[in-house]
Amino acid sequence: MTLFFENARLIDPEALTQHLGNVIVDNGLIAAIGDMSAPADAAIIDCHGKCLAPGIVDWGVKIGEPGERHRESFRSAGLAAAAGGVTTIIARPDTLPAIDTPEALEFVTRRAAGSAPVRIHHMAALTKGREGREMTEISFLLDAGAIAFTDCDHVATQTKPLSRALTYAQGLGALVVAHPQDPGLSAGAAVTSGKFASLRGLPGVSPMAERMALDRDLALVEMTGVRYHADQITTARSLPALARAKKNGLDVTAGISIHHLTLNELDVGDYRTFFKMTPPLRSEDDRVAVLAAVGDGLIDVICSMHTPADEESKRLPFEEAAAGAVALETFLPAAMRLYHAGALTLPQLFRAMALNPARRLGLPQGRLSEGAPADLVLFDPDAPFLLDRFKLHSKSKNTPFDGQRMEGKVLATFVAGVQIYDNKGTVA
C-alpha cells in the first residue's frame, strides 16, 4: 500500500530541522519527502500540522520472557511500545534464565516475532549467567542475531575474565554495553547519598561510584579497543571522563534514561517506591549537567530503561522494593517535558531517541529520509492529559508519572508503512 502523509510537521533528526511537508511511503519505505502531490493510488493521511518523526528506537527494555511473564510479555510490551511511538525495542538479557546461549536467544527471537507488532532486537549476556566469570559464546550469539552484549546491572568485579571477554568481542566487532556503577560502593544503596538521603534515613551511594566504574571501563576499552556503550551516565562527575575518551578516539558512546532527565532525588518524597531506580535518581545539579550533555551530543542516547515490576515487589519498604519503572508508553510524553521547558528541540530529542541508537546498533531505522524504513510516529506535542497507570498497556503499572499532568499524545504509529496504533486504540 502507498501512503501519503500531508500537512505534516516533519521532524528530521539527521538535519536537526523541522518544517511542514508531505511524505510518500511505498513498499514499507519512505519514497519521497517534499511538497509533492499525492499519487493516484495512495491512501491519504492528513496530519493537520501535527508532528511526524522516525519511530523511537528504545535501547534497554526489560521483557519478562522467559521467567517473569507475569511482569511483562512480548505481546504486552509490544502494545505498550506501539502506543508510545516506539517502533523498535532493544531488549535486555536480564531474564530468568539469562539470554546467554544461542538456544535461548533463538527462543526469545521466535517469541517476539510472533507476539509483538513492533520490531524487537535482542542483546545477549556478555558472561554466562551474567556472573562476570566466563564469557558467553559471543560468536555463536552474533550468528543467532544478538545485536550487542551486556550483563546489565550485574557489574563484573573480576577484571581478568572481563578483559578477555572484551578482547574477544573486539575481534568480532561486537558492541559491549556496560552499567557504570562500582558494585562495592553501590551494594545495599537505595538512593544517592547526600543531605536528602540522610534526612530520610535511607542508605545512599556516592555519585563517585559511577565515575569510578566508568574510569575502569574506559581503561579496559583503551586496552582492548572494544566498541563500548555506557547504558546510563547520570552524574556530572562522569562527563569529563566520557569527553576525554571520545576526544582520544575511543569507540565509546553513552546513554541515559528519560527518568534521570526529568526527575531528581527529591521526587522520592515520602518513600515512594515507583521512584526507586538503578542507578538512583540524582541531584538537580546532576540532572541539569547531563541534560546539557545530551544537548551537546556528549551523551548520545536517551532510552526508557523500561523495567516492569509487579505490585508485590513495589509495595515494600523503600530499601527492599524492586528498582525500576515502566516507560515504553510514557517515554514520549516525558520527553515532551524537556521540549516544553526549552531544554531540547524536537529534532535533538529524536536524534537521541531514534537516530543515534539506530546508528550505533547498525540499524536502518531512526531516519526521516528517502529510502529509510517507514517506521514513523505521528504525535501532538501539545496535547494534555492526566496519566492513569491502570490504562497503560504494560502488565506492570509501576510508573512514577501516575496521576501527573503530561503533554504529548501519540496519534498513530507505523512499522514498515503498516499502521499498528491509532489514538482510538491498538490496531495490530
Q: Which three cell numbers stand for residue 68?
A: 517473569
Distance separating alpha carbons of residues 355 and 300, to the nearest angstrom: 10
Residue 325 lies in a domain: yes
Q: Which three cell numbers stand for residue 227?
A: 566498541
The distance from CA 307 to its chain's CA centroid, rounded to whole angstroms, is 11
Long-range CB contacts for residues 129-135, cutoff 8 Å, separation at least 24: 129/97, 129/98, 129/100, 130/93, 130/94, 130/98, 130/100, 130/154, 132/156, 132/157, 132/158, 132/161, 132/162, 133/158, 133/161, 134/161, 135/161, 135/164, 135/165, 135/168
Structure confidence at residue 427 (pLDDT): 53
**Position 59 confidence tier, pLDDT thresholds 50, 70, 90:** very high
* Residue 70, phi then psi, degrees to nearest 5: -70, -20
Q: Which residues touch 43 (CB under 8 Å, ≥6 apart)?
A: 1, 2, 3, 4
Residue 24 lies in a domain: no
| Averaged pLDDT, 252-281 | 96
- The CATH number that applies at residue 121 is 3.20.20.140
Residue 368 lies in a domain: no
Structure confidence at residue 426 (pLDDT): 56
Summarised one tens digit per residue, pLDDT across range 195-244 is 989 988 999 999 999 999 999 999 999 999 999 999 999 999 999 999 99
Which domain range does residue 90 map to?
A: 54-360
Residue 418 lies in a domain: no
Residue 413 lies in a domain: no
Structure confidence at residue 363 (pLDDT): 98
Q: Which residues touch 166 (CB under 8 Å, ≥6 apart)?
A: 176, 220, 221, 224, 226
Residue 421 lies in a domain: no
Structure confidence at residue 269 (pLDDT): 85
Summarised one tens digit per residue, pLDDT across range 330-353 is 999 999 999 999 999 999 999 999
| Averaged pLDDT, 27-56 | 96
Residue 75 lies in a domain: yes
Report how many domains make up the chain: 1
Structure confidence at residue 315 (pLDDT): 94
Distance separating alpha carbons of residues 266 and 268, to the nearest angstrom: 5
Residue 287 lies in a domain: yes
Average pLDDT of every residue of the chain: 96
Is-cis flag, bond preceding 161, omega within 30?
A: no
Structure confidence at residue 428 (pLDDT): 57
Summarised one tens digit per residue, pLDDT across range 146-168 is 999 999 999 999 999 999 999 99
Asked whether the beta carbons of 88 and 376 are under 8 A apart, the reply is no
